[in-house]
Amino acid sequence: MKQPPTVGTGVASDLHRYLQQAREGLLSALDGLTEYDVRRPMTPSATNLLGLIKHVAGLELGYLGDCVGRPSPVQLPWVDDESIWDSADMWATAQETRNDMVALYHAAWKHSDQSIDQLGLDAPAQVSWWPEERRHTTLGSLLVRVVVETAQHAGHADILREMTDGRAGRDREGAGEDAWRSRHLERVQQAADKYRQGRPFGPS
């Protein structure tokens, strides 16, 4: 995996490194999939791979751009027309291609990294959509939030990818051969079956 550029030292550098790992892990979930598979809803709440990319791109441009006094260099129509509050940032329209969303995410990376490098963790920040009593914060606090959310969504993407074509997550190379995985799935299912329909574990 390509190493991210150094941004600051100490905590700032660590946070940025973890953020970059999560970013790349999230994007890797798209590898080799069709345009249909990266955008189709995979859960009852319509979670989908391309929507996760779109969401975290906007997240970075907001928290590590607008909120720290460095407005986004990219216009986000779903923010401008407020359809973001109707989850417009969680799915890609038919007109928004994978290339569009990946390019947007890369633009967000660049802008965020510049904010971290130029301003530092102690830089003041203000989140206008948060309650008045806590909307004043720092870039460092927002960076922690972005790292957490990106890592969370990278985990979602790993699961969606496995549901799509069986490819496991970032630890897939150590997950074992197909035969081992089949045996592992079977033993996990057998343990769960002990509790099916409320049947208690142990002798009846």
DSSP count for the chain of H helices, then E strands: 7, 2
Q: Which of 92, 106, 101, 100 is nearest to 36 (CA)?
A: 92
Q: For residue 69, is it left (φ>0), alpha (ψ between -120 and 50) or beta?
A: left
Tell me the longest C-alpha to C-alpha distance in the chain.
66
pTM reported for the whole predicted model: 0.86
Which pLDDT score, from 0 to 100, does residue 110 have? 97
pLDDT in tens, the chain (204 residues): 444 444 556 899 999 999 999 999 999 999 999 999 999 999 999 999 999 999 999 999 999 999 999 998 899 999 999 999 999 999 999 999 999 999 999 999 999 999 999 999 999 999 999 999 999 999 999 999 999 999 999 999 999 999 998 887 665 555 556 788 889 889 999 999 989 876 665 554
- How far, in Å, CA of 67 to CA of 136, rounded? 10
Which pLDDT score, from 0 to 100, does residue 4 have? 46
Domains of the chain: 11-173 (1.20.120.450)
